[in-house]
Amino acid sequence: MPAQSIGGRRLPSEPILIDARNLRCPLPVLRLEKALGAAGAGTAFVVLATDPMARIDIPLHCRQHGHACSMTIEDEVYRFSILSAG
């Protein structure tokens, strides 16, 4: 699979996966926040979530903290590709 890009920045081929499917907000955001705190700047993440509020909460959290974020939806699963701020 080719590397993805967010905002012109290339993601590594192996992002950290956060599987938050079947978790209700705020748990997907809290899992992401914990992982971001443990990782360095420029780390790539993929968050999978099924709670419709995640499509609002995760991009908002990323904007507030300067992280790049893009979202796709497939089979009722939200997939967020995130690149942590530097």
pTM: 0.84
Mean pLDDT value across residues 56-63? 98
Residue 46, number of CB atoms within 10 A of its CB: 16
Mean pLDDT value across residues 28-32? 98
Mean pLDDT value across residues 52-60? 98
Domains of the chain: residue spans and CATH: 21-83 (3.30.110.40)
The tokens for 29 are 């955001």
